[in-house]
A and B are shown apart, each in its own frame.
Chain A
């Protein structure tokens, strides 16, 4: 589903080249749950941005569903993000002026679903995260954990192939974090791939695969190594 070969990323500022990600190979199959760990500044977020078509890689090959993303136009990338990828951000990134229903609805509107189809998907997603009864509430009326659930509902409503979660529990207490991890595992169990960036080794260990990034170098850990 996701194949990266000799992929690297360098930033060029004021003629200074910074190698954010050194060349690496990585393949993630449909249905996998992969954790990406590493210290701050190691390149985790850059990896996630590239994987999510939020920014471009410098060199190498990145294929998504067998298609070379380097050939994608900006419009096609937008469409791919909308249809194939679900995003869960550390700070939730909900629209405060819209209620929960409309927040989940937002990416579906870009998909040209009719209103009936959208309603069905929104309610299913809200029920899956256990917040269907609060669909008319606004984000500020919810706890952090509930807001992240809504962000997850927004991510899954479009039935993406993969969910990219950037520190999804980073702003939550341990109890709430546990609930979010449980939800992500349920979603993964239903067949959706999950790539989760985290700095929490315990949470990372709940994934089937763990990828570590350190100083821009990517390497794969077995579960046992990671837990240790």
Chain B
């Protein structure tokens, strides 16, 4: 710290270059910290478990045709056919799919005339839903075949037994989430008995803050456009996908709209987030490079301007390492000033993002880590020009 005070005194006389560099570092820090935090936040969101055996689950959207008679019979036939495929673990009808971006939602009430206590995504299915999706029941029991009701449309309006996610149970019964078992909750004015709690199942909307709140009702729907979920044994996905058309397309009126793995559905669901992350990453890399060149340029300019002064310092007794130390410290001071301003600016900018984009505030340790990284980057950027400065001969002092 021998050079600390002299450097500060030097700044008082030569303000412009250090101020500009500190400002550049502050802006870089402010943008980088917020951008990297947003990337990290999004990555965490994308990495959240869906609650489903996603690697081995696929969905098929097909049709049930009026020309072929009773829709319920057709649904049963489809399920028998799908379950018969070699490599299929189980199959179940579903009214919508996790992260599909399409489906129904509901408002949960304890009394039909009271305010709702939570909103939730809705899936209707049958007694095979837990096994098919690979869900984990953490309390209560699953549906029995005798619990399942059938309707052509709007199963959400039918009073039925339901399973709910643990996140929803904790939301509506915060003191003891298990206490919700056996109780009825209301949606669409109808009572629904909670018979089981599943560990996790994300609903249809990945960007919804209530994506972890899900209700599975014991109501299957026989739509003209019918969704099935199918779980396969590991490694059987490809062959099952190939076989599905063979077993389902048994008559001229049968169509398959899509066959898609849940991995693909998840990927599609987060497509915009991934693209935004790539864009932000590019911005971060670009900004970092620009700042590094800014620091490098400023260091080279400063050193070139002070070649004779460096020689004088060497002549008066500064060792090479002391010259290196002087310029490294000078950069560290400028970087630290920039980072301190940057932290304040980053907090202000982050507050705006929190309000506008509903993201969580940047944690303090993130700011501190970012500050350390920026100062370190600055030190790396000046290392080369400073090493050149140390090579200035003290004999330069006696020249011209």
Contact = CB atoms under 8 A, between A and B. Distances in A.
Interface residues of A, number: 34
B398 A110 contact: no
B312 interface: yes
Contacts of A110: 2, 316-319, 322
Contacts, number: 84
Interface in B308-355: 308-309, 312-322
B397 interface: yes
A74 B323 CA distance: 13
Contact of B397 (A54, A102, A111, A158): A54
Contacts of A112: 2
B393 interface: yes
Nearest to A76: B319
A111 B10 contact: no
Contacts of B397: 54, 87, 89, 93
A102 B308 contact: no
A97 B317 contact: no
Contacts of A89: 312, 397-398
Interface in A62-87: 74-75, 78-79, 81-83, 87
B221 to A, nearest CB: 80
A107 interface: yes
Interface string A144-172: 00000000001000100000001000000
Interface string A128-139: 000000000010
Interface of B: 2-3, 6, 9-10, 12-14, 308-309, 312-322, 393-395, 397-399
Given A78-B319, A82-B316, 14 more contacts: A54-B393, A54-B394, A54-B395, A78-B320, A81-B315, A87-B397, A89-B397, A97-B13, A98-B10, A99-B9, A106-B6, A106-B316, A110-B318, A112-B2
Interface of A: 45, 48-49, 52, 54-55, 74-75, 78-79, 81-83, 87, 89-90, 93, 95-99, 102, 105-107, 109-112, 138, 154, 158, 166
